[in-house]
Each structure stands twice: as C-alpha cells, then as structure tokens.
Amino acid sequence: AYPFYKEQRAQQPVFPVGSENGYTSWIVTKYDHVKELLKSPSFMKDQSNLYPSSDRGNEAEKVNIFGNMMLDVDPPDHTRLRKLVQPSFNPKTIKQLEPRIREISDGLIEDMKKKEGSVNLVDDYAFPLPIIVISELLGVPAEDRDKFRKWSNTILAASSDSETEFVEDVEAFTTYLTDLFEKRREQPEDDLISQLLQTEEDGEQLSTNELYSMVVLLIIAGHETTVNLIANTMFALFEHPEQLKRVTQDHSLIPSAIEEGLRYYSPVDFSTARWSEADIDFHGNRIKRGDLVLASISSANRDEEKFENADQFDITRRRNAHVAFGFGIHFCLGAPLARLEGKIALEKLFDAFPDMDLNRTEPSPEWRQVFLLRGLDALPVRLSD
C-alpha cells in the first residue's frame, strides 16, 4: 500500500474511490491536507441531516449501541461526551496506572518464560496487556477478553456478507453490557463504568444510548489499537536489527522508537469518515455536500514533504509530528495510555529477553486484511539465542 500512496501523493493526492446514489467517496493522502481535513468543521461526523431519508444507507441507525459514540458526533454533543471521560485519560491520571501496568507486563513475561523459547508476541504479550489494562479501568472482567475480541472484530469488519454474524454479535455484546450495568448499579465499584452509570442516572449529561456507545467505543479502541502499536513497532525493529540492538541497550531511545513505530507502521490506517457539510473546493476537487471523505493516516505519515527519508525507519528521528492518533477535536483520547503501555511493554521485553529475534524458521508475519487497521496476525519470536 505504501508505494501506491506515494504515487497518489505525487499524481493525485485527493482521489475518488467510488460513488453511490450520486455521492462520491474520497481519500486524502498528503500530510498537510489530512490535517486540514481533520481540523475543518465543514467536514462533519454526523451525517443524519445531510441526506433526504433513504439516499445513503444510514449504518448508524442499524443498532443503537453505536449511534451515539463521541467519535461519531460533532460539537456540542462531542464536547459534552468527551468531557465526561477526559479526566480518566489525562496523562496525570494515566501515570498512576504505571505500577499496575508494570505488574501485568511482568506477569505476561513470566508466562512467556515458561514457553521454552518460542512465543507469538501478538497473542502472548501485545494483545493481553492493553486488554487487561482497559478492562480494569472500565471495570469489565478481563477473563471475558476473548468474547470482546470476537465482538470487536466482527463489528470492525462489518460488511454486508457477514450481516447475520454482525447482528448476533452486537446483540450478544449489548446483552452482556446490560447484565454488567445491572450488577454495577446494585453494587458500584471504583471503576469508570460505575462512574458513567452514576452520570446516566442523573440524566442530564449522558443518555442510555450514549452510555452503551461510550463503553463499546472504549472497549473496541482499547482492543484493536495498542496491540498493533506494540507488535508493529517490534516488527519494524526486527526488520532493523542494528536499531533493535541499540534500543535494547539504551532504553532512553524507547519513547522515540514508539513514536517512529506509530509513524512508520501506523496502527490505524485511516481516519473514520467525515461528511462534507457543503459543496467545497478541496485542493482542486469539487467535493459535494454529503460526500464522504477519509484521511489516509499511513499515507500522511510517509509524506516526504513532511518527513525526511519518510520510508526509512529511524528510532532517533526528531520532530516526529506524525498523525497516528489523528488530529483536531477527535484526537485520540487514549494516546497517553497507549504511549505509556507501549513504553513499559518494550522496556520489560528488552530487559527480560535482550537477545530475542523474529523466529525466522516460521513463515514471515503477515498483515491482517482488515480495513482501517494495520496489525499482524501473529509475530513468532524466539526469546533467546
């Protein structure tokens, strides 16, 4: 995909990818354009007022657990929803989780040591770590993580040919949450769900739909992204052994290695959809009211007009102003958490297994074919020489 986007940035940086009922979908590829798009209030999240009913199938109406996610709404609703959870994700609050994240990481490392030298770094480490953390923060039982993984997967991969599975999984997810909310209402705990339930009860700031959507959003975001940050960065390091060696010996390079991992193999390939609020000329393209526009984050992060030697992985890169976490008012809420988890995850790995390497006797890792996300199915690693 990277050479394709390189070509597009040079030839046709904003391009149409299809049209339906007279509306066109566009992809934006250049760094500056991506920022402009994500910052502009003319490209909105809420599409409901843009069409005569039935013109464009309104996916958001299919089920209400997605209908009111902060990621899918504009101000003032967005501002109100984000404010409710922002305090739990501030860098200062997140910092307090550090000892617990270290403990979880240590536990996973101990389990890997029992596996006689060969592990799958995705399943055995990169996946469980962020899941356990977000589960504890929200107050959902971490033992149920396989269910969440399945549901998140189906929801993200939603396509017309898996409609039945989609509907079933959404139902199961909703029922699961209803039961959990019931329990927490009876007996509140010191977790984010109990706190949100309290807000919902007061009625003014959070509706029932919004409550479900919020929890679903946080579970999905917590399940599908940080795993890729950890695994993709490790994969890039295995592809560049001299840099792996350097950062293994000098942990002060870990934060910039994480930022470079985010830029080079961005875990989220595309922004979520924006809808044009008016007929707009966007860098020479006539974008009509109601058209859908997507920002290619991975393309922006390889834009050579912004990043010197953009196709080179360099853990010492300075001024690495990538847009892996998006930009503007929807900038990732979980960025401080993801960065901290990434940092601890790598530190612990390098300490425990300074000689680890890709298990080169196994087939080389492959990217999962999931739209929106860049992640590996598996990352087979041998832990020592």
Contact 21, 292 (CB under 8 A): no
Instruction: Judge contact between 365 and 377, C-beta under 8 A.
Output: yes
As a whole number of angstroms, the distance between CA 261 and CA 94 comes to 21
Candidate segments 180-188, 216-224, 240-248, 376-384, binder of ligand HEM by CB under 6 A: 216-224
- Interaction of residue 271 with ligand HEM, rule CB under 6 A: yes
Residue 325 sits in the site that holds ligand HEM (CB under 6 A): yes
Span near ligand HEM by CB under 6 A; candidates 20-28, 108-116, 314-322, 330-338: 330-338
- Segment near ligand HEM (CB under 6 A), from 107-115, 154-162, 220-228, 298-306? 220-228
Site for ligand HEM (CB under 6 A): which residue of 13, 128, 222, 336?
222
Contact 378, 120 (CB under 8 A): yes
Binding mask 100-139 for ligand HEM (x = CB under 6 A): ----------------------------------x-----
Tokens of 1: 């995909």
Q: Edge to edge, what strands does the sheet with 380-382 contain?
A: 118-120, 380-382, 357-358
Q: Which is nearer to ligand HEM, 145 or 382 (CB)?
A: 145
Other C-beta atoms lying within 10 Å of the C-beta of residue 146: 9
Over the window 295 to 324, marking each residue x when it contacts ligand HEM by CB under 6 A and - when it does not, the resulting string is: --x--------------------------x
Binding positions for ligand HEM, 334-353, rule CB under 6 A:
334, 337-338
For position 333 contacting ligand HEM by CB under 6 A, the verdict is: yes
Collect all residues with Cβ–Cβ distance below 8 Å to 269 and sequence separation of at least 6.
1, 296, 297, 298, 371, 372, 373, 374
- The strand pair at 43-44 and 274-276 is best described as antiparallel
**What sign does the CA torsion over 148, 149, 152, 153 have?**
negative
Contact with ligand HEM (CB under 6 A) among 101, 126, 155, 218: 218
> And the tokens for 234?
């490790």
Distance CA 159, CA 172 (A): 18
Under rule CB under 6 A, residue 373 binds ligand HEM: no
Nearer to ligand HEM, 158 or 221 (CB): 221
Distance CA 92, CA 86 (A): 11
The answer to the question of residue 27 lying near ligand HEM (CB under 6 A) is no
Contact footprint for ligand HEM (CB under 6 A): 38, 70-71, 82, 134, 217-218, 221-222, 225-226, 229, 267-268, 271-272, 297, 324-326, 330, 332-334, 337-338
